[in-house]
Amino acid sequence: MLKGKTVLLGVTGGIACYKSAGLASALVKQGANVQVLMTRNATEFIGPHTFESLTGNRVSVDTFDRNYQFQVEHIALADQADLVLVAPATANVLAKLAHGLADDMLTTTVLACDCPKIAAPAMNTRMYENPVTQDNLALLRRYGWEIVEPASGRLACGAVGKGKMPEPEELLETVLHALSHAKDMEGLKVLVTAGPTQEALDPVRCLTNHSTGRMGYAVARAAAARGAEVTLVSGPTALKKPAYVETVDVVSAQDMFEAVTARAPEQDIIIKAAAVADYRPAQVAQDKVKKGEGELSIPLERTRDILAWLGEHRGPGQFLCGFSMETRDMVENSRRKLEKKHLDLIAANNLKEPGAGFAVPTNLLTLISPREELELPLLTKEEAAHRLLDEILKLR
């Protein structure tokens, strides 16, 4: 995802330095060339050799280090950089960066960078909440920095409050959002649905399906990484909410119908990846249905068809994409659905194919439009999401 990208990782003098080692490793695993810059204070918490072992690159600490090729090193590093990430960012270094001070290798190099810049503050709660620190953060935002909000919890000093550096996987998601893809969907509003719905039978039981939401969440993340303004309407899942995406939680098919139709008119693209229940119990028992009271029969009634409603009420230029999961006659059944519901594209898969379907990290999609069919190879759901978006942009 980050192959060919150079990330300058600035590490400053806070106890959260130990998390930066995990972050450097995660960035390398994504293919990034990671150049680490440390302040002198940071080396009191963690040694440069740790980062050199993880990244394969020499760590820069001293502006006047003579052990390098003849070049103005901080300018050479700045020229390479696709992104600067300072994590952890202490109050002291944030103040320097906000006011253009450059008295060490890290601040001198960052001042020479014209690429996107991200800072992850980490400090004592009172230091973070101090008006001076908040003013410096506001100033950095004005200069185009992205500030990752610190987490709350027990800090190293024993205090409980805001000031913890986010976990490496969260910061990795921030970097991926910034660098992993060209922003070819900037200016577009995209609505994605994901996950199952749950249709109550009584206060204890429900009718649902095996959807995990992974495909829809992958599509939402991919669209956000490409610059779109994304709304994700999600049924109940165990997945973490994607960053840079507005997530709307729903439970039943009716909940999803109301959430989608209320937001549909303002969307440029709607991608319906959710596994919405076609039927629900005709009556919901007010108390738990007890076993041993004779045979249980559950009369069912149809739920509202969200995709059909969208096809009938679509706005000018709006693009509609549905999903179709089949167990036989996949292309024929999916093409009928495409035509009946007035869709522009349908992503079809066969639950019986190895690697496709629910609860697996891969998918095997066939993208069907009115004029053609595109069979994709077996891909991760993240890769499949981007191929789906490529096809949507082509057809638009």
DSSP bridge partners of 350: 326
Of 113, 157, 206, 321, the active-site residue reads: 157
- Encoded tokens for 239: 């997945």
329 marked as part of a ligand binding site: no
List all residues 6 or more positions away from 324 whose beta carbon is below 8 Å from its beta carbon. Answer: 330, 333, 334, 337, 346, 347, 348, 349
CA pair distance 255, 252, nearest whole angstrom: 5
323 marked as part of a ligand binding site: yes
Three-state DSSP state, 342: coil
352 marked as part of a ligand binding site: no
Q: Which residue has the tokens 């006011």?
A: 99
Look up 157 and say whether it is catalytic: yes
Tell me which residue of 276, 316, 280, 319 sits closest to 298, measured CA to CA: 280
Q: Compute CA distances 352 → 324, 325, 330, 361, whole Å.
A: 13, 10, 11, 15
Query: Would you call the peptide bond into 299 cis, given omega within 30 degrees of 0 as the criterion?
Result: no
381 marked as part of a ligand binding site: no
337 marked as part of a ligand binding site: yes
Task: Give Cα 34 to chain centroid, integer Å.
Answer: 21
Binding-site positions read 278, 288, 323, 337, 341
**Binding-site residue ranges for CTP:** 278, 288, 323, 337, 341
Catalytic residues: 157
